[in-house]
Structure 1
Amino acid sequence: MQIVVNHNANKKEQDPRFMFFRRGGVRFIFGDRETLKPAIVSNLGHYRYKVFVERLKWHLPCEEGREFDQFDRSDTMHLIALGDREEIVGCARLLPTTRPYLLESVFPALLNGQPAPSSPQVWELSRFAAVDFSQDRRSVMKQFSVREAVELMRISMVCAKYCGARKLVTVSPMGVERLLAWAGFSWVRAGRPLEFGGELVVAGYIDVA
């Protein structure tokens, strides 16, 4: 996979908390709230609301039209995929497990009694979606189209490795687990699947290094 990393002289793009990739016609930006443009952060909230609240019908405690939660902190890293009109077509969130994160705080039952990871080499992947609303190409999962999701996962792993991760931990629907296996990612379950909100979900680890 060829990835072009931008080395623009712009001060923000020299910040170690900000990276820029281009893959085909899609531009990927990776950074925290301080390094991402405010308009991008605002659009991310709207995009996540459309995917997770309106499309997937998740019951999330968020304001109307914007989805952010307690894990969207100053140290949270966001990967955002932009189309040719600068519209968001995908996103992913990376959290260090050395601070509170989704699996540990909300879904610890998925660990089957095992302690939640807490290591600078393990980061959590969450709020993963690859939906291009301008084309409205729905997959059965509604959360992604397969080709774009695989590409977003690969870029997520590049970004996680950049942050020092050797493994990702994530909470995923069963369909995402099947996608990971089909695409050849190294996936190991952390425990048995359980039902949350009427959907079977499972926690697992993905090798990065």
Structure 2
Amino acid sequence: MQYFAGTPHVLPPALLADMGRYRYRVFVGKLGWPLQCDGDLEYDEFDREDTVYVVAQDPEGVVTGTARLLPTTRPYLLQKAFRNLWGGNELPDCHTVWELSRFAAVDFRSSASSEVQASAGHARDLFRKAVSLARRQGAKTLITVSPIGMERLLRASGFSSMRAGAPTMCCGVPIVALKIDCEDIEE
């Protein structure tokens, strides 16, 4: 598995397009999220100049995972769309807190189920790469909105997280906001 990381100005345009198509397949096609897309490319208002990505590719160059990192000092997904998940507390606006969003580690060419793949080695590696990159940006804490199943997978993979508020239903799936201490995760 190869991992590429950087902002839109650093990553090759073809890789960014492949990532957009991959995100469309995962979040719109597989999960059924009602997202506005440009054809088969899934991008939103949080895909901007300061967005930092991690993209996983298999040896043939097919995207098998992605993660998006956003500073909380600028608008971010949890702040704009999922404020209710933060338990009524003030949302982070700090250079040491970054948001992890659009995390996915599904290999569409594998016969293994998505749940098995999410707990597989490349999902853990992708998460570690995202944490490492966030640390290099100054992050001490990651925040994220995830299905409750990801909370269990994080725990099973040895990553600790803490709920920021009560779960709620979104598109028929219970989701929760999590805080993840980056300093507790080995690189």
TM-score by length of 1: 0.84
Question: Which stretch of structure 1 is more off in the superposition, 192-201 or 92-101?
Answer: 192-201
Q: How many pairs does the alignment contain? A: 183
Aligned residue in 2 for 1:75 = 50
2:123 to 135, 140, 149: 149
Q: What does 1:31-180 align with in structure 2 at a 5 Å threshold?
A: 31-140=6-115, 144-180=118-154
Runs of 4+ in 1 over 6 A off after TM superposition: none
Contact 2:68 2:100 in 1 (8 A): yes
User: What SS is found at the alignment partner of 1:61?
Assistant: coil
Q: Kindly, what percent of the aligned residue pairs are identical?
A: 45
RMSD, matched Cα:
1.3
Distance in 2 between the 1:117 and 1:77 partners? Answer: 18
Contact 1:46 1:67 in 2 (8 A): yes
2:106 partner amino acid: V
CA drift at 1:145: 4.7
User: What SS is found at the alignment partner of 1:171?
Assistant: strand
User: What SS is found at the alignment partner of 2:175?
Assistant: strand
Counting helix residues as a fraction of each chain, which structure ranks higher? 2
Distance in 2 between the 1:136 and 1:156 partners? Answer: 26
What are the Cα deviations for residues 70-101 of structure 1, in whole angstroms up to 9, with x where unaligned?
Answer: 00000000100111011111100000000000
User: What SS is found at the alignment partner of 2:135?
Assistant: helix
Question: Higher Cα Rg: structure 1 or 2?
Answer: 1
Higher normalized contact order (CA 8 Å, seq sep 6+, divided by chain length): 2
Aligned residue in 1 for 2:176 = 202
What are the Cα deviations for residues 30-50 of structure 1, in whole angstroms up to 9, with x where unaligned?
Answer: 001111101001111101001
CA drift at 1:147: 2.6
Structure 2 segments unaligned to the other structure (5+ residues)? none
2:104 partner amino acid: A
